Amino acid sequence: MVDSRFPSLNARVQAVSDALGGAFREGPDWVSYHALNAECLYVTPSVRPWMHASDLVGRSFAAWPMLDEERARWASAWLEVVTGRAVGRLVWRHDVVGSARWVESVLLPDEWRGQLVGVMVWHRDVTDRQKRESALEASVERLQLAYGLARSGYWELDVTTRRLTWSQEVFDIWEMEPEHFAATYDAFLETVVQEDRPLVEQAVSRAMHTHTYELEYRIRTGRGHIRFVRSVGRYHEHGAGRGVLFGAVQDVTAQKESELALAASRELLARSDKLAAVGQLAAGIAHEIRNPLTALRGFIDLMYQRARSNNRRYLEIMRGEVSRMEAIVSELLRLARPDRPQFQQLDLVDLVQEVVAFMSAQALLHGVDIQYEPRAATIKVQGDANQLKQVFINLMRNGIEAMQPGGVLRVALWQEGGAARVQISDEGSGMSPDALARIGEPFFTTKEQGTGLGVMVSKRMVADHGGDLLIESEVGRGTTVMVLLPVANGDA
C-alpha cells in the first residue's frame, strides 16, 4: 500500500512507535520493528519483562540470546518474508540467565510506496502452552513406551464407515507397514486366521449392544507368522447414529505358547506317572503269574504228547493262549526292568534288512508283501542291535496285522541331514484322530488281542537312542510310522 504521509523510513518508524507504544506498554505481547538487514529499530515498552529495549534496538535478531538452531530457524523465516513478502511464523526459545522462555513470533512484511521497507514482528509468551504441549508429548511417549513394553497398541473402528485406525504399536504387532494397510475393517479381517473370523465378527456385533468388547484370536502377520492377540474395547455412540468402537490390542503369543507348553508338560508328567504305575504293576504281575504260567505250559506240553489226535486241537489252542500270556509277561518285565542299551556302531541298512527277512514269513501268512527300499548303501548309527531290531519287529508286526486280508507293507530307509529315517507304511484301515492321540498310552490298543505295550516300549527304546518315533494315520488310508535316529559322528 502506498502511503504518502511518511517522507522517510525514520518517519515510518516513528509512526509505528506512536501507534503501538501506547497499546503495548504491558501485557504478554510485544512488538519489534526491523530494517531489511534484520536490525531492530524499535520495540514496544511491553518487552520490559523480557529484557531492556537497549539490548534489542540496534542489534539483529542473530545477536539475541537464543540457541544456534533457533537462529537458523529465524533466518529461514526472515528469508521467506523479505524475498517472498509472505507471513513468517515460528516458536523459539529465548534464553536468559537463570531461565528460558518460549516465544511465538509472527513476521509481517511492511510496505511503503509499493516497496518493502521493513518487517514488523509480533511476539507472544507461550511458555505455559509449550510446557503443556511438552508434557503432553512426554506423556504420549511414555504411553507409547508402555504400549511397546506390553506389546500393546491402540485401535479405533468407525462402525458406520468401517474405517479402522491403528497406532504404530498395532502395526508393529501385525508386522506391517502403514502404507500397506487399507485401514478398513474388512482389511483387518483378512489378517485374522480364517477359523477365528466368525468369533471376531460376533464380538463386534455383540459390543454394539453390551458396549464392551473382549476377545482372544489369532492373526497372520505381514511376514506370515501366526500370533495370538487379546483385544479389549468399548462401544460409544455419537449423534446421528454414528458409533465408534475403540480399545487396545495386546500380543499374547508368548503367554499362549507358555500355557500350551505347560499343558504339554502336564500331559507328559501324567503319562510319566502312568508309566511308573504300569512299571510297578508290571513287576508285581510278572512275579505273580510267571511261575504258574511255566507250570501250565509244562503240563500242557506233557498232555499234548499223550493226547489222542482229536484232543490235540484243543491243547494246541491252550498252548497258543499260554504263549500269548507269556509274551505279555515278557513285555511287562521289559517295561518294569528295561535293559540298558549296549551301544555300538551299526549299519542300519543291514539291520533293517535282517528284520525284513525275519518278518517275511509272518507277512506271507497274512497275505502281506513287504517292499523294502533302502535309499543309501550304508547308514551308520550308534545303537543296541537287539533293541532296535525289537522296535522294527514291533512296528512291522503292527503294520502286517493291521492289513486284513493282506496288502503291501512299504519299508523305506534314507538319510536326511544328521538323521537316519526309517519309514514303515501299511494299507490298513487307519486310525481316527482320537485313537492316534492315545497311541503309546499303557494298555490302549486298536487290535482285538493287543496289549497296548508294544508302541510304548518302542517309543522308550527309540528315545533311549536319542531319536524320535512319529505316527501319522488316516481312517481308510492306513498308517505311517517314522523312526528318526541320529547318524553316527563322521557320517552326518
The C-alpha cell that represents 157 in the structure block: 473402528
For residue 374, give the CATH number of its domain: 3.30.565.10
Strands 368-374 and 407-416: parallel
Q: Residue 367 gets which letter from DSSP?
A: T
Residues 6+ apart with CB under 8 A from 180: 222
- The string of DSSP codes covering 143-173 is HHHHHHHTTEEEEEEETTTTEEEE-HHHHHH
**Of 308, 336, 364, at which residue does a domain stop?**
336
- Domain of 327 in residue numbering reads as 258-336
Domain assignment present for 4: no
For cell 508290571, the residue is 282
- Cell 519299508 belongs to 411
Query: Which cell numbers in the block locate residue 420?
Result: 537316519
Beta bridge partners of 229: 217, 251
Do 479 and 360 lie in one domain? The reply is yes
Give the domain-ending residue among 306, 336, 366: 336
- The amino acid sitting at 423 is Q
Cis peptide before 405 (omega within 30 of 0): yes
β-bridge partners, 165: 156
Residues 107 and 147 in one domain: no
User: DSSP readout, 189-258?
Assistant: HHHB-GGGHHHHHHHHHHHHHHSEEEEEEEEE-TTS-EEEEEEEEEEEE-GGG-EEEEEEEEE-HHHHHH
According to DSSP, residue 341 is labeled: P
User: 10 Å Cβ neighbour count for 412?
Assistant: 17
Q: Are 318 and 332 in contact (CB under 8 A)?
A: no
Which of the listed residues 93, 125, 157 is the one where a domain comes to its end? 125
Q: Per the domain annotation, does 352 fall within a domain?
A: yes
- What pLDDT, on the 0 to 100 scale, is given for residue 4? 46
**241 and 262 both lie in a single domain:** no
Q: What is the DSSP letter of 8?
A: S
Q: Are residues 19 and 107 in the same domain?
A: yes
Q: Are residues 358 and 468 in the same domain?
A: yes
Angle at which helix 385-402 crosses helix 348-365, to 10 degrees, equals 30
On whether both 377 and 469 belong to a single domain, the answer is yes
402 and 436 together in one domain = yes
CA neighbor of 476 nearest in space, from 423, 425, 428: 428
Pick from 138, 332, 152, 345: nearest CA to 248? 152
From the number of C-beta atoms within 10 Å of its C-beta (0-12, 13-18, 19+), residue 465 rates as: buried
> Does 264 lie in the same domain as 233?
no
Q: How far apart are CA 409 and CA 399, in angstroms?
A: 7
pLDDT tens sequence for the chain (492 residues): 344 444 566 777 777 777 776 666 776 788 888 988 899 888 888 887 777 777 788 888 888 877 788 888 889 899 989 888 888 888 888 776 556 778 888 999 988 777 888 898 988 888 888 888 777 666 656 655 555 555 678 888 888 888 998 888 888 889 889 888 888 999 999 999 999 999 999 998 888 888 888 889 999 998 888 989 988 888 887 665 678 888 888 888 888 877 777 776 676 566 656 665 666 666 666 656 766 777 777 878 788 777 777 777 778 778 777 777 776 676 666 655 555 677 899 999 999 998 888 888 778 878 889 999 998 889 999 988 888 888 898 888 888 888 877 889 999 999 988 899 999 999 888 888 877 776 655 544 555 554 556 677 788 888 888 899 888 888 888 889 999 999 987 554
Dist. CA 363–CA 387, nearest whole Å: 21
Where do the H-state alpha helices sit in 408-481?
433-438, 454-464
Confirm if 153 and 143 have CB atoms less than 8 A apart.
Answer: no
Does residue 491 lie in a domain region?
no
Instruction: Report the 10 Å Cβ neighbour count for 284.
Output: 12
Q: Is 247 in the same domain as 313?
A: no
The grid cell for 354 is 535282517
Torsion of CA 348, 353, 358, 360, to 10 degrees: 140
Residue whose C-alpha is closest to residue 485's, from 339, 340, 346, 335: 346
> CA torsion 356→358→361→364, rounded to 10°?
-10
Residue 96 is predicted with a pLDDT of: 63
Q: Tell whether 374 and 441 lie within a shared domain.
A: yes
Query: Are residue 177 and residue 271 in the same domain, yes or no?
Result: no
Compute φ and ψ for 84, nearest 5 degrees. Answer: -110, 0
Task: Flag whether 43 is in a domain.
Answer: yes
Residue 3 lies in a domain: no
| 158-170 residues labelled b (16+ CB within 10 A) or e (exposed) | bbeeeebebbebb
Same domain assignment for residues 348 and 482: yes
CA 324, CA 301: separation in Å to the nearest integer? 15
- The C-alpha atoms of residue 106 and residue 312 are separated, in whole angstroms, by 119
Whole-angstrom Cα distance, residue 346 to residue 380?
6
Dist. CA 391–CA 482, nearest whole Å: 12
What secondary structure letter does DSSP report for 58?
Answer: T
Q: Is 282 left (phi over 0), alpha (psi -120 to 50) or beta?
A: alpha
In sequence order, what are the beta bridge partners of 235?
245
The kind and range of the H/E element at 59 are none
pTM of the model: 0.38
Report yes or no on 2 lying in a domain: no
Tell whether 196 is covered by a domain.
Answer: yes
Q: Rounded to 5 degrees, what angle do the CA atoms 132, 138, 141 make?
A: 145
* In-domain check, residue 30: yes
Kindly report the CATH number assigned to the domain that includes residue 87: 3.30.450.20
Tell me how many domains the chain contains.
4
